[in-house]
Structure 1
Amino acid sequence: MDCWKGAVSRSWIYPTVIICANGFFTTMRPSESFLTPYLTGPDKNLTIEEVTNQIFPVWTYSYLALLFPVFLLTDYVRYKPVLLLQGISLIITWLLLLFAHGVMAMQVVEFFYGMVTATEVAYYAYIYSVVSTQHYQRVTSYRRRSMFFHRKDTSEPLPGADKGVAAGSSHRPSSCQEEKSPSPAARGPTPQPQAGNARPHSHMLSVLLQLAKDLRDCYSSRKLLYWSLWWALATAGFNQVVNYVQVLWDFQAPSHSSAVYNGAVEAIATFLGSATSMAVGYVKVNWDLTGELALAIFSVLDAGSLLLMHFTDNIWACYAGYLAFKACYMLLITIATFQIAVNLSMERYALMFGFNNFVALVIQTILTIVVVDSRGLGLDITTQFLIYGSYFTVIAGIFLIRSMYTIISIKCRNTTVAAESTTH
Structure 2
Amino acid sequence: MLPHDKSGPRDAYFLRLQSALKAQGQTQPTLVVDRNRLSQNLTQLKQDLAPNMALRIVAKSLPSIPLLKEVAAIMKTNRFMTFNAPMLEAVSESFPDADQLLGKPFPVQAAAKFYSNQSRGVPRGRIGWLIDTNARLAEYAELAAARSLTLDISLELDVGLHRGGFLPGDDLDRALATIHQSAHLNLHGFMGYDAHVAKAPEAFGMRRGALTKSLSTYRAALAQARAIFGPDHVQKMIRNGAGSPTFRLHKDTEILNEVSVGSALVRPTDFDTDLLKLYAPALFIAAPALKVIGPMQTPVIEKLDRIKNALNPNLSTRVFIHGGYWKAMPVDPPGLSIHKTYGRSSNQELLVGGAHVPLVADDFVFLHPTQSEAVLLQFGDIAVFEDGAITDHWAPMATST
TM-score by length of structure 2 reads: 0.21
Which structure would you say has the larger Rg? 2
Greater RCO, CA 8 A, separation 6+: 2
TM-score by length of structure 1 reads: 0.20
Higher helix share: 1
Higher strand share: 2
